[in-house]
Amino acid sequence: MIDEALNIADDVLKKIISENFNIEANNKQEIVPELDEFWHSGVVGVLGIMGEVKGRVIIGIDFKLSTYFVKMVYDQDIVTNSDILDVAYEIFNMIVGNTLVEYKKSYNTILRPTPPSIFLGDNMLIVSPKIQRKKIEYAFEYGKMFIEVGFERGFKW
């Protein structure tokens, strides 16, 4: 289930970023995190997944790429933390919402997102206990971002 959801999320993320911000990932790396925690600087969105299974999607965007996104959306040179949070909120909702719609079409499984919790800062410790997860890290010309999909451990299909 994680592989299927992550593949759909990957396609959705790349399409949204390409169509809305005119950039493509230069590099992409899929990983299975070994630890239940990791550090991130930038903006992070955590969205719960409810329905037939429980899970979580975490999306992170570094400051450099977040700044680029804000400049593209607002066509301005000055970027505030509030601008970063607002743009990230919309991006996260688009990615997760579209991913869950595509997942339902492909697998006839109804999953709903919770509203995102958004965090902005340097060296934030992100902890995901009791979650089986996979992550894709992207490198763009203007910075980096990642998407991580996880579901409760022990769930059997």
Does this model's pTM top 0.85? My answer is: yes
Bigger pLDDT: 34 or 5?
5
Map out the domains of the chain as residue ranges.
2-152
pLDDT tens for each residue of 104-118: 999 888 888 888 899
Q: Say which residues have a Cβ less than 8 Å from residue 130's Cβ, sequence separation at least 6.
A: 152, 153
Rounded distance between C-alpha atoms, residue 132 and residue 88, angstroms? 25
**pLDDT surpassing 70 at residue 155:** no
Q: Say which residues have a Cβ less than 8 Å from residue 113's Cβ, sequence separation at least 6.
A: 47, 48, 49, 50, 57, 93, 96, 97, 100
pLDDT tens for each residue of 60-88: 999 999 999 999 999 999 999 999 999 99
CATH number of 2-152: 3.40.1550.10
pLDDT at residue 157 in the model: 42
pLDDT tens for each residue of 22-42: 999 999 999 887 777 788 999
